Structure 1
Amino acid sequence: MGRLQKRVCKLVLDYFEATYTKELGSIAWRKIREILTAPELWQYAVLLNNFTSPCEVEKRLHEKGYHLLLQEALSARPETLKCYVNKSPGKFPSQRHQFDRLKEYYILNASSLLPVLALDVRDGERVLDMCAAPGGKSIALLQCALPGYLHCNEADVHRSRRLKQTLESFVPKSHMNFITNFDVDGRSIGKLCPQMYDKVLVDAPCSNDRSWLFSSDAEQATTRILQRKTLPGIQTALLRSAIHALRPGGSLVYSTCTLSKAENSDVVANILNSCDDVIPVDLSDLGTALSHEFTFASGVRHGLLVLPDQGKSWGPMFVAKFRKKIQ
C-alpha cells in the first residue's frame, strides 16, 4: 500500500462526540462525524499560481472533472484567483519543492479561501498574516492582489522554516522585496507595529479537528484536550494585538479550522464586548453566494462556520470579520 492507513484516535473522537453533540445537535454531528472520520471522502482543491503559466495543469484539471470554485458565485472575484474543485473525493498530486523553479499550484481545503475572500486585499495595501504557516493563505492573498507589502509572521521556528520554503516555491524573486517574514509571538505585534496595517489576517492556532483526529496517540490526545481550554485566551490575545496593529478604518479577519464554539463565536463575542474600537462585518452575502459549494451552520452570529458534508467535505472553517472604527 505504500502509506499507512490513517487511524482515528478514539480519545479525541469521544471528546468531540460529547462536545459537538451538545453544541451542534446529534443529527448534525452524526453527518459531520461521518466525513471527519473517513479521509477517503475528503475533497481537495487546487489553487493555481498566477506567477506561472499553468495552462497544462488547467487542461488536466478539466479532463478530471474539476471546475472553478468562484466562477459564477462571486461577481467581484479577482480574475487572478483561480481555484479548481471537484465534486468527487480525491487529491490532485502535489508538486515537490525545487530550487529556482516555482510550483504551478497549491493543494488545499477549499474552505481555506474563505478568510482570504473575506479580507478582500487590494493592490498596494499593507497586509499582515499574523499566524501564516504553512503559507497557503499568504499564497492565496498574493493571487488576489499585490500588496504594498506583506508581512508573514510565524512564531514557531519549525513552522516558520516551512513558511519560508512555501513562499520561495510560489513567489518569484522579483516580488520578494515587498514580503517580509517575522518569527515573533503574534501577541506582541500590536505593540511593535501599532496602526501599521490596512488588513490583518489572524488564522489562529486552534484545536484543528481533522488533524487532531488522526495525528494523536493516547498521550498526545490527553495533553491536547487539557490544553484546549487555554486556546480561547491565546486567540483573544492575538486578536487584541491585531486590532492594535490595524489602522483606523482597516479590516481584520479571524479564522480557525475547528467546530469549537469556545474558539469561534465565543472568542468573537469576547472581543466585541471588550474592545470598543471594532465593529463586526456581516459576511452573510459571502455565505449565500457560496452555499452551493459549502455547507454553512445556521444561527452563527458574526461569522460563517463551514460544516463538512457529503459531497461538500470542506472544513471545518470558521471566519469572522471586524472593521476598526475611525476615531
Structure 2
Amino acid sequence: MARLRRQICRVVLDYFDKTYAAELGDQWQTVREVLTTPGLWQYAVLLNHFQHSLEAETRLSLCGYHQLNHQTFPQSLKCYINRNPGKFPSQPHQPGKIKEYYILNASSLLPVLALDVQHGERVLDMCAAPGGKSVALLQCAVPGHLHCNEPDIHRSQWMRETLESFVPALYMNAISTSQLDGRRIGKLHPESYDKVLVDAPCSNDRSWLFSSDSDQAAARISQRKILPEIQTELLRSAIHALRPGGSVVYSTCTLSEAENSAVVSNILNSCRDVIPVDLSDMANTLSQEFTFAAHVTHGLLVLPHKGKAWGPMFVSKLIKL
C-alpha cells in the first residue's frame, strides 16, 4: 500500500483538492481517502449468464461475496460484491473460450440499469471500450441489435476482444462494431435507436491520480477544459440518433460537475425535445450498497466511501419527446 501511495501524482491531487473541496465540501475528505488508497478499493464480479457456472458462485460465496440484488434487477443479471477490499482473480482471454465472469466497479452497472434495455430493442453503446457495459447490457436483455462503437483503434480492438470473450458466436449476429467519431453518429444514423448509452470519455479521477508523469498530468488538467464541449457534442449526437420516445443515459467516472451536471444542463438548455428522468428511486433502493452525493442536478453521483468504495460514477437519463 505504501508503494502505491508514493505513486500518487501531486499535481493532480493538488488540483483535485482545490476543485472537489469546493464542489463536494466536507464530503471530499472522505472520498479523497478512498481514491488515494488503492488498498481500500473494492471490485465486483458480474457473472456471465451465457456461461453459467455454479462453481464460480460457490467460490464467490466462500470468499465472502454476496449478490447485489434488488427487485428491479433483471433475473439474468447476477453481480456479486464483497464488503472487504480486494479483487477476485480475473480470467485470461482465450480465443474461442467464453469467460464465466467479468471484474468491474459495481457502480458501472448503474448506467446499464438506468437504460433499462428490453428484449428486441435497437441499442447503441456510443463509447463502448473496453466493453464491460456492453457485456452488462447483454446480461439484462437480448437486443434486436446492439451497436458497439469505439473510435480509438486500440481500445476498439480491446472492446472486440471483450465481446468475443463473453458472447457466444450465435449471439454475435445481433452485434455490430464500428470506429466512428461518436459526434457523427447522430447524423449518420438519425432516429435509429430505442436506447443509447453515452459512457463519455472523461477525466477518470482514479487513473489520473496515479499518473506517473507530472508533465503529462499537467497537460491532462489543461485538456480537461475542453472535455465538457466534447461530452456535450456526444450527448447531442446521441439524441439525434434516438427515435422519438427513446431514452439516452449519459455517464462518466469523474466527480467533476463541469463534466457531469453542467453537460446535461447544456443539453437541456439547447435541445427542446428531451426531458430529464428522475433517478431518485434508484438511489433510494440502492442506498445500502452505494453512497450517493446529495443535491446533484439532473442525475446521480456515486461517491467512494470505506466499505462502499464504488465510483466515482455520474448517471443521468433523458427521454426524447
The normalised TM-score by structure 2 is 0.98
- How far the C-alpha of 1:53 sits from its partner, in A, is 2.0
- Counterpart position of 1:107: 103
The separation in 2 between residues aligned to 1:41 and 1:324, in whole angstroms, is 40
SS in structure 2 of the partner of residue 150 of structure 1: strand
The separation in 2 between residues aligned to 1:218 and 1:14, in whole angstroms, is 12
1:293 aligned onto 2:289: yes
- How far the C-alpha of 1:77 sits from its partner, in A, is 1.1
SS in structure 2 of the partner of residue 214 of structure 1: coil
> 1:290 is matched by which residue type in structure 2?
L
- Counterpart position of 1:16: 16
Unmatched runs of 5 consecutive residues or more in structure 1: none
- How far the C-alpha of 1:9 sits from its partner, in A, is 0.6
- How far the C-alpha of 1:76 sits from its partner, in A, is 2.3
- Counterpart position of 1:244: 240
Q: Deviations over 1:91-124 (max 9, x none)?
A: 0000000011111000000000000000000000
Which residue of 123, 126, 135 maps to 2:122?
126
1:152 aligned onto 2:148: yes
Q: Deviations over 1:75-98 (max 9, x none)?
A: 121010000000000100000000
- How far the C-alpha of 1:214 sits from its partner, in A, is 1.2
1:190 aligned onto 2:192: no
SS in structure 2 of the partner of residue 311 of structure 1: coil
1:266 aligned onto 2:262: yes
1:283 aligned onto 2:279: yes
The separation in 2 between residues aligned to 1:202 and 1:84, in whole angstroms, is 25
The separation in 1 between residues aligned to 2:97 and 2:153, in whole angstroms, is 25
8 Å contact from structure 2 (residues 4, 38) kept in 1: no
SS in structure 2 of the partner of residue 205 of structure 1: coil
The separation in 2 between residues aligned to 1:271 and 1:128, in whole angstroms, is 19
- Taking the TM superposition and a 5 Å limit, the aligned residue runs for 1:128-143 are 128-143=124-139
The separation in 2 between residues aligned to 1:51 and 1:97, in whole angstroms, is 16
The separation in 1 between residues aligned to 2:14 and 2:245, in whole angstroms, is 44
- How far the C-alpha of 1:301 sits from its partner, in A, is 1.7
> 1:64 is matched by which residue type in structure 2?
C
- Counterpart position of 1:55: 54
> 2:58 is matched by which residue type in structure 1?
K
SS in structure 2 of the partner of residue 181 of structure 1: strand
1:213 aligned onto 2:209: yes
- How far the C-alpha of 1:54 sits from its partner, in A, is 1.5
Which residue of 222, 229, 247 maps to 1:226?
222
- How far the C-alpha of 1:216 sits from its partner, in A, is 4.0
More divergent stretch after superposition (215-224 vs 196-205): 215-224
SS in structure 1 of the partner of residue 154 of structure 2: helix
Which residue of 139, 160, 165 maps to 1:169?
165
> 1:94 is matched by which residue type in structure 2?
S
Q: Deviations over 1:30-80 (max 9, x none)?
A: 10110000000000000000000211000000011111111xxx3121010
- How far the C-alpha of 1:28 sits from its partner, in A, is 0.8
SS in structure 1 of the partner of residue 316 of structure 2: strand
Q: Deviations over 1:306-326 (max 9, x none)?
A: 00001100000000000000x
* Identity across matched positions, percent: 69
